Structures are given as C-alpha cells and as structure tokens.
A and B are shown apart, each in its own frame.
Chain A
Amino acid sequence: MKGIGVSPGIAIGRAWVLRAKARAAGTRSGGALPDGGLLPNDYPLPTGGLLPNDATVIEREVDLYRGAVEEAAVSLERLMEQAGDAAEILGVQLELLYDPLWESEVIDRIRRRSPAREAVLGATERVMNMFLEMEDAYMRERSADIRDMGNRLVRVLDGGALDALPGEGEWIVVAEELTPSDTIGLGSRVVGFVTQAGGATSHAAIVARLRGLPAVTGVSTATVADGDWVALDGETGIVLVNPSLAELGEYSLKKQAFAERRRLLATLKDREAVTLDGVRIELLANIGSAADMEVSLAQGAEGVGLLRTELLFMDRDTLPTEEEQFQFYKRVLLHAAGRPVTIRTLDIGGDKPLPYMDLMPEANPFLGYRAIRICLDRPALFLTQLRAILRASIFGKCRIMFPMISGVRELLQAKAFVAVAQEDLRAAGQPFDEAVPVGVMIEIPSAALTADVLAQTADFFSIGTNDLTQYVLAVDRMNEQIAGLYDPYHPAVLRLIREVIMQGHKHGIPVGMCGELAGDPRATELLLGMGLREFSMTAGSIPLVKEVILQFKTV
C-alpha cells in the first residue's frame, strides 16, 4: 500500500489496530451520525432517551459529568508526565476540560434532560463544527482536540479504561485517525503509525515527528488485522502488510541506515555551510505555504529561495484579493524574521486549471499561455499581486522573481508593471521597500543563452532546473514513457547552467538555483565547482547538501 509519508524513518512491528479495540470494548455502534456524520465511524454514538423530568435526577447527572471531568483531568495529568515534549498538547485539552463555554455547552444540555454521555457527544459535535467551519487549516485540525476530549469524557462515563498494548515486542499503531492522547499514551514500544485520515499538520503527524517516529497517512487500514506484521517507510509512504522475509530483511537494513544517517545529520543543523577553504554557501528553502516555513527553519534554512504563490490561488472560486495576498506574504516575511525571502509571481497554466480564471486546456501547456505570459496579459491580476508583495516588503527582506521569462523584452515589461504598482502605492500613501530586488527565474533556454543581456536588467538570477531540463532536452517531465530521457545531468543542461552562473557573476549579480538539482547532494560538488553559492531546495535536503559542502574545497 502507498500513502503519504508524514514523518520520515523506517518502522517494523506488529499491527495494533485501534479500531478493533474500540469495537471490542463496545463503545462503538458504527455508521454515520444522523445529522451529517462529521464524526468518524468509531465515535461512540448516542443511544437515545431523555432523563426523567426530575430535578434530583438532573442534578445527579450534572454531578456525574463533573466527576467525569475530574477523572479525565487526572488521567490527562498522568499522561502529561510521560509525554515529554508533547505535554503541552495535552495541556490544551486540560484547559478545555474546564473551559466555561464548553462546560455550559454540556450542562445546558443536561438541564434540557440529556444524559451526561449524550450531552458530551452533542457538545462535542457542536464545538467541532465551530472549528471545522473556520477558514484556517490549523484551526480546522483543532476539531481533533475537541473530539479527543469528548471521547475521553465518554470513556470515563462508560467506566472504560484506556487500552493497553497487547504484549511484548514492538508495535505499529494502525487507526482510521489518531488523537493526541492516542499518540502520547502509547509508550516506547510503539515504533510507528499508520492512519487513514489526518494531514501533515494533524497532531498525530506533529507528535510522530517530535518523537522521531515514522508515520504514514492516507492508507486504507480496513484490511489490516491485529498482530499482522507491518513495515513502513515514512518518507516514501510505503506500507507493507505481512511482508516476505526478503522484504523484512531489506527494511531492517534500511532502518539501521536511516538511524545512523539521522544521528549524523542532526549534528549539522546549526553548523554554517562553509567549505573546507572557508567559502560561505547560502542554503535556502523552497516553500509553498506558511506551514512549510517552520519545517524549513527547523532544518537549518537560512531563508527562502523560492516562495511559490500558486497555492494561494488554488482550491477556491475567486481570485485572492490584494489584502489576502498581502496578509500571506506578510506572515511569511514576519516568520522569516529578517532572513531573505524570494517571492515568485504567479506560475500557473493550462496544466493547473483555475476555474475562475478561465484558462483553456492546451495541447502543450508547458509551451503555452502560462506564468509571466498570463500576468503580462492580465494587468489587473499582475498588479494586484505586485502591490500585495510590495506592501508586505516592509516586514522583512524580500525579493521579487518572475517565472518563465524568455528574453529581455518580457523582463522590461514585467519591471514596468512593478513601477506602476509602486506608483499606485505612492499615490495611496502606502509604505513599501523601494529597494526590493527584482530578478528572473532562468528556466527557458533562450533566457539562459541571453543571460549576459538579462543580467544588465535583472537584480538576480535563480536557475530553475526542472523546467530548464525539460525545455533543453524537449522532454515532457510529466510523461512517464520518456522519464528515462529526463536528465538534468545532460551536458547541454550543465553547460547552460555554467553559462548562467558565469554571466551573472561577470555582471555582479547573485545567482542561485531553486530546481531539484540544487537539493540533490550528488550534484552539489559539481555546482560548487561551477561557482554556485546559493542553493534553494526542499527543507529535508538541506542537511544532505550541507554535509557535502562541509567536505568540499573550492580551490
């Protein structure tokens, strides 16, 4: 099976299926809730029936609830003692248990004659809905905290105890979804997680990463049975159920190798990337969302070499407003805390259709109406983005980069738009950084071959090797049949890269690289030798590339 790796590493162990435990304990009746089914299937469901209309009974039920809160708090505190770094996550729940709003949600229901258990379920669903309706993904994920708290209270009310691990040995927890306390109360014999739901920012994923435990989500867990052998790779997202002996052997070797590497790479995080002969190299991250920023800094990124802005435009029905964009760029710049951030203007085309932009499907979307070509054609769209970036520029150190520039004429046009955006802001009395550098992503062969001309107009270059390779070699990188021909190490690609670096330096402008090649440790020595001093890559590659740099001499 293949899912999404959310916490890297290799784990091998027996499956401990939480879904099966819940069923066996009888706290689950399955199926969806009558009014919408927001809760997953293993959520204990109401069994119906109102309390008798008797004040004594109702007050007893309120006391029962208060007692359950006390008991849940005690068990939470106990969990927190063993939770280490993750204790704070449980602290949030502890605070929620006594929250006055939460309490009145539950107690009002009891006073309207709901039994305590049903009152907790009703309140849980209502408050979860409140979070699920919020626009922010982080906040939506908080609904898991609420469900976890509700489940905990119901378990106490049912007189049930938390499940214990079935036996000796190492276990991999398999569940439809994991709650924070599931991941925390498990102890050291749990070596990995496999879940069906939950994203990279879910608590389970965060806790798994905090503890350095491999985790895979997005895998159908229905066919996994208790006690099955499971091997998983938290990087590739591969999960093997009852693997062969040969596969087991392969995964134990991978596991050892990974542990060894991790120890080594962890020691590099705070070290400067300097070659043996003292040349300082800048290592930056490619990011697409605000959440990536945190991960990047944790890997030792010194800034952002490529902020993709496409995500802002996707999964929605209208163009993002200038204000929305401004808030996003500002957040990233504030979080970068003075480190450089290169913002790439919109890079979309017919291959990533945005319904509200009404882009026609094209036979050759990579050679078509896309990126800067769209922006130059639609001034309102382009100016909105440029104004938003410029307004945010006062909150940090920002650079603007244009994708898909094929020659100096487009660069001059794009720069004219920047001037108009600046003029708009001056007229509106809005502050911006006058000295924001404006550069070019070199990814079209014609741009690479005229780098000497572009360098006189651009403030910096960043080489995008992914598109450059496909354009130079005429190989569609999305076409699996010719994947073997896609080769960034082809001499033609390498010659162009060398030419761009040389021309940039000759004209005194910085040259970076933000394509996959920059994050490929096999290419690092070659690129250093060509004179590249700024590498931008996926956060996870930073330690790998740094390792090579630390052992390299430029002369």
Chain B
Amino acid sequence: MISKTYTILALEGMHARPATAMVKLAKQFQSAIALKYGEKSAKLNSLLAVLALGIKGGATIVVDIDGADEGAAATAFDTFFSANLKDW
C-alpha cells in the first residue's frame, strides 16, 4: 500500500468540482483508493462520501492506494495535486 499526503490550498476547502475530478481520477485505477481526513475516511469511488468529509482549506489529507496498479495511481495523484493545488 502507498500513502500520500497532500495539503488542500483552496481557501474554501475541497470544492465539489475538484472533488469530482479526483473521484474520476481514482476510477481509472483498479487499486482500492481511500482518502483520510483527520479521524474520518472515505472511499474515493464516491463523490458524496468525499464531500461529506467537509475538508477545509489548509487541511492535510492522506490518500491510501492499495492494489496492483498502486504505483501508477500514486504518480497520477502527485501530478493531479501539483497541477490543481493552486486553483483549489
């Protein structure tokens, strides 16, 4: 399993649009991908579950990736967050 930590820079926290993009990205991989925010966690196959976490701006989240293509998925998430961080 690979664990990745990211900081949400968007002032308003995890907006619906970036969250949607993130869920779409997760669906491209076979690995089970989950997002941890403090005590709470959500599977990344559900936008509703991600939004329900109510992730705030400036927060740190952990993405856990577990499965055959976890390496590729981790790289994709790195790219995703470095490309989207500024707009978030």
Contacts and interface: CB of A to CB of B under 8 A. Distances in A.
Interface of A: 88-89, 91-92, 95-96, 99-102, 127, 130-131, 134-136, 138-139, 142, 145, 290-291, 293-294, 327, 330-332, 334-335, 337, 395
B58 A334 contact: yes
Contacts of B40: none
Interface in B1-56: 9-13, 15-17, 19-20, 23-24, 45-49, 51-52, 54, 56
A138 B47 contact: no
B48 A88 contact: no
Contacts of B11: 290-291, 293-294, 331-332, 334-335
A142 B57 CA distance: 16
Contact of A138 (B12, B24, B48, B52): B12
Q: Which of B11, B46, B51, B56 has the most A CB atoms < 10 Å from its CB?
A: B11
Contact of B58 (A99, A127, A294, A327): A327
Given A127-B48, A142-B51, A334-B58, A136 B13 contact: yes
B78 to A, nearest CB: 20
A130 B52 contact: yes
Given A99-B48, A101-B46, A127-B48, A134 B16 contact: no
A211 B76 CA distance: 33
Given A130-B52, A335-B11, A92 B57 contact: no
29 contacts: A88-B17, A89-B16, A91-B17, A91-B20, A92-B16, A92-B17, A95-B24, A99-B46, A99-B47, A99-B48, A101-B46, A127-B48, A134-B54, A135-B54, A136-B13, A136-B54, A136-B56, A138-B13, A139-B51, A139-B54, A142-B51, A145-B16, A291-B11, A294-B11, A327-B58, A331-B11, A331-B56, A334-B9, A335-B10
Interface of B: 9-13, 15-17, 19-20, 23-24, 45-49, 51-52, 54, 56-58, 86
Nearest to B42: A101
A337 B88 CA distance: 12
Given A89-B17, A101-B46, A139-B54, 7 more contacts: A95-B20, A136-B12, A136-B13, A136-B54, A294-B11, A334-B57, A395-B58
Contact of B57 (A89, A145, A331, A337): A331
Nearest to B7: A334
Nearest to B15: A138
Nearest to B52: A130
A256 B52 CA distance: 45
Most buried by B among A99, A139, A327, A332: A139
A340 B15 CA distance: 25
B58 A95 contact: no
Contacts of A92: 16-17, 19-20, 47
B81 to A, nearest CB: 15
Nearest to A89: B17
Contacts of B46: 99-101
Contacts of B52: 130
B75 to A, nearest CB: 23
Nearest to A134: B54
A335 B9 contact: yes
Contacts of A327: 56, 58
Contact of A331 (B17, B47, B54, B58): B58
A337 B12 CA distance: 14
Considering residues B9, B24, B51, B56, which has the most beta carbons from chain A within 10 angstroms of its beta carbon? B51
Contacts of B16: 89, 92, 142, 145
